[in-house]
Amino acid sequence: MSPGVLLLAAGSSRRFGTDKRYARLASGETILESIIRTLQEADLPLLVCVPAGDTRTAEILRQYRVGSYECVNSSRGMGATLAESIGQVTHWEGVLIGLADMPYIKVATFTAVAKLLSSDRICVPRYEGERGHPVGFGRLFFPALAGLSGDDGARNLLRQYANRIKYLDVTDAGILRDIDRQEDLS
């Protein structure tokens, strides 16, 4: 199976106060640079979803030789962004949903989720019993992803298709750590 990663980087960063994708981590990299580097090391197909008109991010992604898709519906929430962008990756056998504000996920986690994924399965990583990201969806779930709306992302799909979930226990606490506020950087 050859899934890819759909990286959602089209949010508004309301709680952060500024565009968090360009905030610097302790390593000196921006949040966006860090997650892109990780995904390039994972060596999976990658498409980054950005807000319509975001030429700054599109140019950075071109420098990294990473494809991007401008989501005209991104202001309607994560579900709307997923629904719109899934249509761009229908040639993939599965999709890992990555979040651009989660730069601490290890390369091995992305590759393990991709390896465990199948066309009729959802793969969810867990750290100490708690579900995290990236969540992988087999091709069977693409129509359901295309029907999402609002800001809930795919949470309802995980409830609806609970019997199709394969959990992957990992030692990667990064699957739970996102950056929503300035204090999350430390």
Read off the DSSP letter of residue 39.
Answer: H
Residue whose pair of structure tokens reads 């795919």 in the numeric block? 154
Residue whose pair of structure tokens reads 């991007």 in the numeric block? 68
Q: What letter represents residue 31's amino acid?
A: I
Q: How far apart are the first and last CA of the chain?
A: 37
pLDDT at 183: 77
Local structure of 150: helix, strand or coil:
coil
Percent of all residues in the chain with a pLDDT value above 70, rounded to a whole number? 97
> What is the third-level CATH fold of 4-178?
Spore Coat Polysaccharide Biosynthesis Protein SpsA; Chain A (3.90.550)
Q: Where are the domains of the chain?
A: 4-178
- pTM of the prediction? 0.93
d(CA 1, CA 170): 21
**Residues 42-62: what's their mean pLDDT?**
93
pLDDT at 1: 59
d(CA 52, CA 73): 8
d(CA 128, CA 112): 17
| Residue range 57-107, pLDDT digits in tens | 989 999 999 999 999 988 888 888 999 999 999 999 999 999 999 999 999
